[in-house]
Structure 1
Amino acid sequence: MRKILVIEDESLIRDNLLELLEIEGFDAIGADNGQAGVEIAKEFHPDVILCDVMMPKLDGYGVLEALRQEPSTADTKFVFLTASADQINLMKIRGLGIDHILKPFNVDKFLTLLEHQNS
């Protein structure tokens, strides 16, 4: 079973994503902020991390940086979740070579992206 960590501070979005992922057969776990997400990633060893960009305590960029410095998570596939269609934000994400999903998102496109991440 593919393991996915969802790091999202908005509980409604996080809970909906976790429910969708479980329905689709993923082993999914959530974190409500970036610091918690980093700790959970070290223990859970997910195949893919879905991470909001703008969060309290540690933003998505900080999460990515922390996980890339940790040997056990350095190569984990990472996808940003963002509500910001701001071109500067999107260019920064693309510059990092990271896939992203704009919120709100189309469920079919979301699941296709996850399948791509797991191949």
Structure 2
Amino acid sequence: MRRAVGGGVCDGRRVISAAWIRRSWTPLTRSPYSGDAYGYGWFITGLDGAAAYYARGYGGQYLYVLPDRALTLVITSDPMVHSRVDGYGAALRALAEELVGAAAVPAASRWDMN
């Protein structure tokens, strides 16, 4: 994930095209469950007023990337319990919102996606 959140640059070397990251974070459709937009493998939403891109897995596994906050957040949960948005998925979303709000980062450390 370090490669995606760093704008595709790792240790000063471009390893993922910035254009590909932008494309994968461009809304193509909308989730019928959460209502969030969806790109190439990423859901697109907002957390604490910042653009947030996330991937999710079975049982409440979430990976949030917030480029404007230079922040990545990973939440793991019980793989035996279903976490749809109407289940404890809503509680995980609220937790993510709270954690993002508590981790404000100065603008000087934001990532450059160019």
Give the shorter-chain TM-score range.
under 0.3
> What TM-score, normalized by structure 1, do the two folds share?
0.25
Greater strand proportion: 2
> What TM-score, normalized by structure 2, do the two folds share?
0.26
Larger radius of gyration between Structure 1 and Structure 2: 2
Greater helix proportion: 1
